Amino acid sequence: MTTSVSLYVAGDTGFHRLHPITKLTITLTLLLGGLVIPSAWASYALFVGFILPLSIWGGIWKQLIRAVWKIVLPFGISIFLIQGLFWGEGTTLFSIGPFTVEKEAIIFAFGSVGRIMLVIGSFLLLALATRPDSLMNALTNLGLPGAITYIVVTTIQIAPRFQSKARTIIDAQQSRGLITEGNLIIRGKALVPLILPLVLGSIVDVEERAIAIEARAFNSPGPKTSLVTINDTRLQKLFRWTLFLLMLLLIGFRIWWSLT
Amino acid sequence: MGFVDSIKKEFSTRTLVLITVAIAINIAVGQLVFTLKLPIYLDSIGTILVGALVGPWAGALTGALGNIIWGYTLNPTYLPFFYVAAVIGAMAGIAAKLGAFDRVSPRWLSALIGGFFFFGLTLFILSITAYSRDGLIPNASDLISQNALVFVVILIIGLAIGYFLLRKAGYAGLAGLITGVVAAIISAPMAAIYFGGVTGAGTDLLVAAFRASGAGILASTLAQGAVSDPFDKMVSFLIVWVIIQSLPARFKAR
């Protein structure tokens, strides 16, 4: 059982080999840039100028574009329909039947779609090219409590097991005559007989697992060694500090901009 | 016992293991609900369970990490809302400290809770949309007399929900309803500013309706959340109440 829920796409490109913290810093800088630069077009520029080239370097651009498209499209349709048709006041561009479409509404919709694209894109850039466990490993080395790392890594490993458990319970209850199709009330009534076995069954073995990890020195103090070592280079350290300074500059710029 | 000690006390090894199970439950129940094609999310049952069994801090950590993990492994749109999930877990913990998950309410009281709550919620939603449209705080009695039929229907629906759905779990249901309203209020600014006020799902029809009635973006987003979140959280708290009632006493005693 080594399968886990993850967006990670295995690869051996230079981008994949970057230190996880370097990739995390790139993601955070891009996010901050989109938030701070006071223009609706900044998000699009950052997406085309940085996220796309980096995803091509990492060989993950197909997955990235597909995922961004799948997530952003429903948002985009909703935003353009709702904010476009019901904006209310502003410079009228054109009208469809009883609705008028205003210039301000279109600018708002473009800005929102761009921001969503940037948030999704910058996180996908990190998630598609970085194994969650190596990211958590790197964060632990920076001082993140080991308990947090344990929760994240373990959850990612056990989630698929729970999903298949849920499917087993659906099958079992259906074979005992539980009706899971029909009107809303019938389907609603099926909820408790499906959730209860899933939750009770998994809670009962919590204690066993707690004893198992404590017996393996989970709570022992002192330094711990890791099976996986993550390569870091002096150049990447320098690059991270540069990005960090850039982020501070961006925040400073934003404060200065809103003051003047 | 100091403040820091009270936090540390919540995080035993068992709690950490329970949190991993709870987040996996959130994901698996989300899948069950999807299979049953129900119009609710129920994606925080594990979070509420940890809050109820362990305490507010553990509940908050479960919620926040759950959203971060969900965001990192499945869909990044969950990530920015991690603070909402944390507040839901914390509120479940506080509700448990007040006894919401242990106490049994008479059914007439559950009916009253349902009736009063949905009546008040309707008033709240109509007030914020009217305020956003006109810039004036509307008079409550005017709103009620102008929409008398709506309020009567809502009151009857609320009483029926309390009597037939909440039954003996009136206190847990009330805690869920309040949590839902708080979740709607704190998630609206993020949804409105970052996501243009929409979710890309069916609930956007509500946003469209409120926008069409003349309300602003933030007010429409808030009103949409105030319609859909309380019911979702009420059902979630209700299910957790049932779970806790069926847990072995040994487990509850910790």
Which of A85, A119, A170 is nearest residue B80 as measured by Cβ atoms? A119
Same domain, A209 and A92: no
Same domain, A125 and A237: yes
Is it the case that residue B2 has pLDDT exceeding 80? no
Same domain, A113 and A210: no
Residue A112 located in a structural domain? yes
Per-residue confidence at A238, pLDDT binned at 50, 70, 90? very high
Same domain, A77 and A35: yes
* CA-based nearest residue to B92, from B53, B42, B66, B40: B53
- C-alpha distance from residue B222 to each of A111, A112, A195, B144, B213 (Å): 20, 17, 30, 20, 14
Same domain, A195 and A72: no
Q: Which residues of A touch B217 (CB under 8 A)?
A: 83
- Of A138-147, B78-87, B136-145, the range with the highest mean pLDDT is B78-87
Residue A224 located in a structural domain? no
Range(s) of the domain holding residue A168 = 147-215
d(CA B204, nearest CA chain A) in Å: 7
Q: In terms of pLDDT, which residue wins out, A206 or B251? A: A206
Same domain, A113 and A30: yes
Which of B25, B69, B194 is nearest residue A152 as measured by Cβ atoms? B69
Q: In terms of pLDDT, which residue wins out, B235 or B250? A: B235
| Domains: count for chain A | 2
Q: How far apart are CA A189 and CA B148, in angstroms?
A: 32
d(CA A251, nearest CA chain B) in Å: 18
Cβ pair A133, A117 in contact under 8 A: no
Residue A207 located in a structural domain? yes
Could B65 and A147 be called an inter-chain contact, meaning their C-beta atoms sit closer than 8 Å? Answer: no
B37: closest chain A residue by CA: A187
List, for residues B104-141, the tens digit of each pLDDT value: 899 999 999 999 999 999 998 888 888 888 888 888 88
Could B72 and A207 be called an inter-chain contact, meaning their C-beta atoms sit closer than 8 Å? Answer: no
Cβ pair B155, B116 in contact under 8 A: no
Q: How high is the ipTM of this complex? A: 0.87
Map tokens 């999903």 to a residue.
A163
- Tell me, letter by letter, the H, E, C secondary structure of chain B: CCHHHHHHHHCCHHHHHHHHHHHHHHHHHHHHHHHHCCCCCCCCHHHHHHHHHCCHHHHHHHHHHHHHHHHHHCCHHHHHHHHHHHHHHHHHHHHHHCCCCCCCCCHHHHHHHHHHHHHHHHHHHHHHHHHHHHCCCCCHHHHHHHCHHHHHHHHHHHHHHHHHHHCCCHHHHHHHHHHHHHHHHHHHHHHHHHHCCCCCCCCHHHHHHHHHCCCCHHHHHHHHHHHHHHHHHHHHHHHHHHHHHHCCHHHHHC
Same domain, A184 and A253: no
List, for residues A52-100, the tens digit of each pLDDT value: 999 999 999 999 999 999 989 988 998 888 888 888 777 777 777 777 7
Could A162 and B247 be called an inter-chain contact, meaning their C-beta atoms sit closer than 8 Å? Answer: no
Same domain, A190 and A101: no
* CA-based nearest residue to B59, from B95, B30, B28, B31: B95
For residue A66, the model assigns a pLDDT of 93
**Which site among B8, B12, B13 would you substitute to test the A interface, given the most A Cβ atoms closer than 10 Å to its Cβ?**
B13
Is it the case that residue A2 has pLDDT exceeding 50? no
Same domain, A206 and A253: no
Residue A221 located in a structural domain? no
Classify burial at B217, counting beta carbons within 10 Å of its beta carbon; exposed 0-12, middle 13-18, buried 19 or more. buried
Residue A30 located in a structural domain? yes
Same domain, A203 and A155: yes
For residue A1, the model assigns a pLDDT of 37
Same domain, A110 and A43: yes
Same domain, A114 and A19: yes
**Which site among B36, B79, B218 would you substitute to test the A interface, given the most A Cβ atoms closer than 10 Å to its Cβ?**
B36
Cβ pair B61, B19 in contact under 8 A: yes
List, for residues A181-199, the tens digit of each pLDDT value: 888 888 888 888 999 999 9
Lowest mean pLDDT among A126-130, A140-144, B200-204: B200-204
Residue A111 located in a structural domain? yes
The predicted model scores a pTM of 0.90
